[in-house]
A and B are shown apart, each in its own frame.
Chain A
């Protein structure tokens, strides 16, 4: 009976390991997917010379549906005026993009360890520049 009671006590603690494994895999899958989505959007922006409003809209909706979050929670800052391909390096002609997405659960059973919801989240950021392939008209 004593061992049974102890087992009952430590079962929630042991379950955390299994939950953490699943959560880590889920977060990793989502972040890898985010890298792919942003990469595809960036490739489109190279051709267009900037992030068109349709491109940004598609980017937001794809992220929102894959992350199960509202579009308003995604922070996107991108170049929205055309940049052109020129034959000399000029950083002003690069296309900038920054995508920030919230991850709401990093540790499974956070409350069991006294971690508040506020501390148990993070913003994942992808930020870089890309060159424009659009020719000057």
Chain B
């Protein structure tokens, strides 16, 4: 009986370990995915600029078009139940010499870990795209 109980304990431990390993790998890949989407949103949003200020040498991002781009990519990349939300920050002259766009993406909803004592329901990743002048 003692051996059987020890075996059961080891079996439980092994199963828990495998579940943790599998969930952790999925969670890690999901983090990479969200990061890649954030980079794509930031890179795309930074392409749109206001033409009139640009004609006098001032770079101002076109917020409306940038928003449309980010919204489209987010809608395509995540399911509805992932509750994806985002925040775009524009940094431009005169506040900074290096104009950039920050995109922060947050997804939440399902628990990424099946083990009851581990809970992780949210992934937040941020990416920034800078427009640097060529030296």
Contact = CB atoms under 8 A, between A and B. Distances in A.
B18 A20 contact: yes
Interface string A1-41: 00100000010001001001100110110011001000100
B65 A128 contact: no
The 10 closest A-B pairs by CB, nearest first: A131-B44, A89-B68, A28-B25, A17-B14, A89-B65, A89-B69, A88-B65, A35-B32, A24-B21, A20-B18
Given A27-B25, A35-B29, A131-B43, 20 more contacts: A10-B7, A17-B17, A21-B21, A24-B21, A24-B25, A28-B25, A31-B29, A35-B33, A46-B43, A87-B49, A87-B51, A128-B36, A128-B37, A128-B40, A129-B76, A130-B40, A130-B44, A131-B40, A131-B44, A131-B47
B36 A88 contact: no
Interface residues of A, number: 26
Nearest to B44: A131
A131 B72 CA distance: 11
Interface of B: 3, 7, 14, 17-18, 21-22, 25, 28-29, 32-33, 36-37, 40, 43-44, 47-49, 51, 62, 65-66, 68-69, 72-73, 76-77
